[in-house]
Amino acid sequence: MGTDKALLPIEGKTMIEHIIAQVKDIGDEVIVITNTPDHYKFLGLPLFADVIPDKGALGGLYTAIDAASHPYTLILACDMPFVNRDLLRYMISLAPQGDAVIPKIAAPDGEKKKSGMAEPLRAIYSKACLAPIRKCIDEDNLKMIAFFKDVKLRWIDEEEIRRFDPDLVTFMNANTPGEFEKMKGVKGMKG
């Protein structure tokens, strides 16, 4: 995108403000993981820089789980502003069933992944994930799913997800300017 996606405006607010407005009462703690804290002070929330710098999204995940004061952490990517609160509540109810609760949706047309695609940036992780994530970081294996083999997963398949979000809008993200423009036309922005 060439810019900080979390700060892109939609309907007069940044994407991150939309996300926070939609989840602020789901749990009792909201924190932001950022390596540019000055850009996010306006949110008035606790801000944490990566514990282990330069390790990408996996390093950010490690930081979030480590910084959270509760045994389970709901992770929401800053470029996915459509929050389905009922789906999140369902995911939270499943948390005791594994070390992580991970949605999985079918691969987009043209991709040959029979098992579907994990959505690790709209998921729940327990503190039990810290050591396996740290091991991957130490080995410089920075794929978001690299540690999955070392934790107990509770997958949420697409059929389960569609009960709450028939069009899978919650997984729309803005990786390109075109995707961002398409996103701005989607009904469902709240906050």
Pairing of β 153-156 and β 100-105: parallel
Share of the chain above pLDDT 90, in %: 69
Q: Distance (Å, rounded) from C-alpha 54 to C-alpha 62?
A: 12
pLDDT in tens, 55-93: 999 999 999 999 999 999 999 999 888 899 999 999 999
Domains, the chain, ordered by start? 5-184 (3.90.550.10)
pTM of the model: 0.89
Q: Distance (Å, rounded) from C-alpha 59 to C-alpha 124?
A: 16
pLDDT in tens, 115-129: 568 999 999 999 999
Is the Cα dihedral 172, 120, 50, 33 positive or negative?
positive
